[in-house]
Amino acid sequence: MSDLFELGKKWLKKYNTGQPLNIMEVCGTHTMAISRYGLRQLLPPNINLISGPGCPVCVTSAYDIDLILEIINNYDLNLFTFGDMIRVPGSSSSLLEQKSRGKKITVCYSPLDALNFAIHNPDQSVLFIAIGFETTTPLSSIVIKRAEENQVRNFFIFSTHKLVPPALELLVKDKQVKIDGFLCPGHVSAIIGSRPYHFIPLEYGIPCVVSGFEPTDILLSIAMILRQIYQGKPSVEIQYKTVVKPEGNRVAIDNIYDVFQPVDCLWRGLGNMPCSGLELKPEYQRFNARLRFPVPEIKPRPHPGCVCGEVLKGLLKPNQCRLFGQPCTPQNPIGPCMVSSEGSCAAYYRYERLNPERI
Amino acid sequence: MKDQNFKDVNIQLSHGDGGLKSNQLIHNLILEYLGNDLLNRLEDSAVIKAPGSRIAFTTDSFVVNPIFFPGGNIGKLAICGTINDLATSGCVPIGLSFSLILEEGFPVSHLKKILASMRETLLEAKTSIITGDTKVVEKGSADKIFINTSGLGLIKHNSLLSPSEVKTGDKIIINGPIGDHGISILSQRKEFNFQSNIVSDCAPLSSLVSAVMSKTKKIHAFRDATRGGLATVLLEIAQASGHIINIHNQNIPVRDEVRGICDFLGLDPLYIANEGKMVIFVDPMDAQVVLDTIRNHKYGKQAAIIGEVGPSGPGSVILNTEIGTRRMLDMLYGEQLPRIC
């Protein structure tokens, strides 16, 4: 094992006061890595890792899923989407089920695939579900700019893009949620930098460490949080220095705000949060699928037993959901946290069943 | 009869109608590349002499996309897949059947390339196609080319090779790095289109299996880790034998580039497909001689002992990580999808 890993273990021992601590990993990729490497097995029992709202599929509201399903049922469209979205159940169906019924749905790996399809098929309407946090939004922006330059008339996006800092602000303000430290997301922070998190230690006294994704990175980051608590000096530190700079990536940030503007946005489990989503600016509204494809008002009916919302806030562990494991499994997911490859329920189900006492 | 005037550029529906064009296709292409005494008879079934011993029989269909990829193509894959399925019984192939389903408009030049690599692989594995069939379907009814192959093999040993024969203490050996085939295919798909030097591991493993069988009688099971990857094979064997299997992550060979691409896309190399990887369960006393034999074979230079079979149990596989933690492996739930974030 690397020297850094040993250092992380040493710091864990040195700076652990023994007081119960809740440390939230915000990002779904962290959640998966923690479970996959069994990192909880290495932590002292007073340290409780909880998963946050950092999986874009998990926080997509049931309303948005049902709206997308309604749009493809009312209009003849070619829908392009990233992988996991296709399996998320809406109130009565999913994109996967609609695909098997003959709807034109393609899993793509870049929005450019959707745009290229639109360019080569000008007589067909193409809808791309733009999903993700600050990491994926710059690419959506570039695609919209390219569509504008090429005067593409048959390409539309359904934006579910969201911003991470407003969700963290909501969590630290929530009296029910007790968080003693944040593992901040590495990929998102590569774009926005570490400065947007400064309000967390400054106003709420909660330490933040931007972490990479290897087990060594995560262990060391947790130890850095313990050190901040031990020394009584909460701040924002960057452990993932090879990728994340305090100021972030200016070009990517400019690209986001050239095309998108913050809007109030509905998050699954967290509710409607002011200025937490991104929608197209007025000059790009002609690409907005929500406007281009109006549908009758819908009323989502999420599964009554699903507590993905509480799981996303860290109020409940996935295995505390009465649906967990039976009937909700990765083969038959009822909520999005069990669907997504980044979802905390899927991570717990796949990787943590060997040590149930530590999850 | 071979027709020197065969100059067709694309497959046409008439190549599959059983008439003149079909005949030309068979004589000018298929027999040209794959012909031999048995196949040349063009009989509805091949008659083979079966000595009084056990025979293994297998079949598989190949519908891979793209059909050409670094390190192989659908034809090589079809031959290797069937030979390797036979090899898991520890047997030598007697002969293979093949059935081609071609889409109207398929370039004959592509078919030639596919047949040529099939011939090359058959020669290497010292076997041949002994019966076959060809169909052509309308454009759009199939995706370019599908190949079904079946294989017959002669079992010359008395060992019982089966997942149910796996025993506590058996060592688990793999003949090289995992995930090469799946990642080479992925890198060629238009939706990814990333540069990679990864070449498919697609290879016929019958000679490797024969070499191993000649050194020990204490092999308990062979399995080729194709779709579903290494993890799926280990789980199948754990469940079939009713044992707990322990594997050690740091001992499992994975190329850095494969690991990097998997990390980038959020995929797990343990679940990525292979087409030239054999997982071998052997009595611990003979594990080293098997490992040495495999490492001396051209398809086993990077072979490794990756774990051992534990006590009887619920049929689970436990992965021991390099940081000293453990987790259970599960079957893959549907297709692995790259992450969004």
Residue A148's pLDDT is 97
- Average pLDDT over every residue of A210-229: 96
Q: Is the pLDDT of residue A240 over 70?
A: yes
**Contact of B223 with B278, CB cutoff 8 Å:** yes
pLDDT in tens, B47-93: 776 666 788 899 999 998 889 999 999 999 999 999 999 999 998 89
Rounded to 5 degrees, what are φ and ψ at A98?
A: -65, -35
Cα–Cα distance list, B318 to A34, B178, B243, B307, B328 (Å): 17, 18, 11, 10, 5
In this structure, of A39-43, A120-124, B51-55, B102-106, the range with the lowest mean pLDDT score is B51-55
Spatial distance between the Cα atoms of B212 and B65, rounded to a whole number of angstroms: 33
Q: For residue A187, give the nearest of A132, A224, A130, A117 by alpha carbon.
A: A132
Residue A142's pLDDT is 95
Spatial distance between the Cα atoms of A211 and A208, rounded to a whole number of angstroms: 9
- Determine, for residues B336 and A132 on separate chains, whether the beta-carbon distance falls below 8 Å: no
Say whether A252 sits in a helix, a strand or coil: helix
Residue A251 contacts B where some CB pair is shorter than 8 Å? no
Residue B312's pLDDT is 93
What is the Cα Rg of chain B in Å? 21
Out of A5, A133, A341, the one facing B337 most closely (by C-beta) is A341
Residue B114's pLDDT is 98
8-state DSSP, B323: T
pLDDT in tens, B4-27: 667 788 888 878 777 778 888 888
- Token pair for A58: 């998990």
Residue B53's pLDDT is 74
Residue B309 contacts A where some CB pair is shorter than 8 Å? no
Residue B339's pLDDT is 61
- Token pair for B43: 């009989």
Cβ contacts below 8 Å, chain A against chain B, sum to 91
Which helix or strand (DSSP H or E) is residue A156 part of?
Answer: strand A155-159
Spatial distance between the Cα atoms of A5 and A11, rounded to a whole number of angstroms: 10
Q: What is the mean pLDDT of chain A?
A: 93
Residue B336's pLDDT is 64
pLDDT in tens, A255-291: 999 999 999 999 988 899 999 999 999 999 999 999 9
- Determine, for residues A42 and B334 on separate chains, whether the beta-carbon distance falls below 8 Å: no
- Average pLDDT over every residue of A40-62: 92
pLDDT in tens, A124-156: 999 999 999 999 999 999 999 999 999 999 999
pTM for this entry: 0.83
Spatial distance between the Cα atoms of A230 and B2, rounded to a whole number of angstroms: 86
pLDDT in tens, B240-295: 999 999 999 999 999 999 998 888 787 889 999 999 999 999 999 999 999 999 99
Residue A76's pLDDT is 96
Strands (E), chain B: 54-62, 68-69, 72-73, 92-103, 129-137, 145-155, 171-174, 219-224, 243-248, 278-282, 304-312, 317-320, 326-329
Residue B67's pLDDT is 94
A 190-249: CB under 8 A from B: 213, 215, 219
Is the C-alpha dihedral spanning B222, B225, B230, B233 positive or negative? Answer: negative
What band does A356 get if pLDDT is binned at 50, 70 and 90?
low
